[in-house]
Structure 1
Amino acid sequence: MNDQLINDLMDVLLQESKIYEDILEISKNKTDVIVKGKVNELENITNLEQSLIFKIGKLEESRESLVAEISDAIGVNPSEMTVSELEKHVDKKQADRLKEHKEYLSSIIGEIKNINEINSKLIKNSIDFIDFSINILSSISAEGNNYSKAGQVADNKKKNYFDIKL
């Protein structure tokens, strides 16, 4: 098999790792921005994340193309190709490097997933608090301030302007 294909694959995996490291750092910063309620910074971070995700998408296309070429070279169906399968068809040094890349990428992606779950919960809590605050403010009635013609306190129903939760 062509060693250059394996080296190219490892280069793509390394590039992906670097971008995922950037995404991890951004996700950590995003937590602080969410806690401090800095909406403009959150928007900037989200835009930056989107551009990095776009780059990951391009690298994934390259990776899939390389995997298809490698699969053809070793006679394995591309849809069945895994790092573990590829390790069986390369020398020990390459197999060890592939395994390292796989474990490192899995680790980074796992960290990103955990931080994103925390960020999602923080955002949900913020939205719930805002919803609660709006409902409190919109349900304050003017009871006791309005009288009917007969001099009785008017029966004001609570006004709820925001009673639909999206």
Structure 2
Amino acid sequence: MIKSIQQLKETLHQELKMYKDIVEMAKEKTIIIKMGKLVELEEVIQKEQQYIRTMATFEKIRRSIFTNIAEEMEIPEPAGISELLLHLGDQEINEIDTIRNQLLETIKKLTEVNQLNEKLIQQNLEFIDFNIEIITSSPETGNNYGEKDTGKRKSISSLLDMKV
């Protein structure tokens, strides 16, 4: 087996592990969003950003491995794993394709969790906007307690002068 193929498998395994970790963080984020814990949400987002930066590094590593494989096998540099599989033996195809399918499934899960988180955040923002609208809107009628309304008093149009 070519050394670069083994490096590719190891890199893909590491990427898969990182994606699984990010899925778990996204699930944790769902719970945090539901509980409304902003400080914890910020911490999880910072961890995610670190993972994303690391994953960008893995992308560069994978590109260089593709270049090495192309040189070692004397083939044109593959644009992706699917192209590379066309030039490999059955055992390597099965191993790399299995890892790729696991990666694709994990990315699909991540997408689903992130879509849920996006909906939850949107609902929270709508709720906040609704509450601000209620607080800043002017009352239609005064209260019925105390002095008679002679129409000479100024009415307060809102508690706040502006929306945030």
TM-score class, shorter-chain normalisation, is 0.7 to 0.9
Matched, 1:44 2:79: no
Q: Over residues 133-159 of structure 1, what are the superposed CA-to-partner deviations in whole Å (9 max), with x where a residue is unaligned?
A: 0110111438536xxxx9325574743
Q: TM-score, normalised by structure 1?
A: 0.84
Indicate conservation of the 8 Å contact 1:143/1:156, yes or no.
no
Q: Which runs of 5+ in 1 are unaligned?
A: none
Structure 1 residues 26-37: aligned runs within 5 Å: 26-37=25-36
Matched, 1:16 2:30: no
State the one-letter code of the partner of 1:102: R
Question: Distance in 2 between the 1:53 and 1:9 partners?
Answer: 19
- Which structure carries more relative contact order (alpha carbon 8 Å, separation 6+)? 2
Indicate conservation of the 8 Å contact 2:23/2:106, yes or no.
yes
Q: Which moved more, 1:63-72 or 1:32-41?
A: 63-72
Question: Distance in 2 between the 1:21 and 1:11 partners?
Answer: 15
Indicate conservation of the 8 Å contact 1:34/1:123, yes or no.
yes
Indicate conservation of the 8 Å contact 2:22/2:110, yes or no.
yes
After superposing on structure 2, the runs of 4+ consecutive aligned residues of structure 1 that deviate more than 6 Å are none
What is the number of equivalent residue pairs in this alignment? 157
Indicate conservation of the 8 Å contact 1:30/1:45, yes or no.
yes
Offset of 1:18 from its aligned partner?
Answer: 0.5
State the one-letter code of the partner of 1:52: Y
Identity across the alignment (%): 30
Indicate conservation of the 8 Å contact 2:70/2:77, yes or no.
yes
State the one-letter code of the partner of 1:116: N
Question: Distance in 2 between the 1:23 and 1:161 partners?
Answer: 42
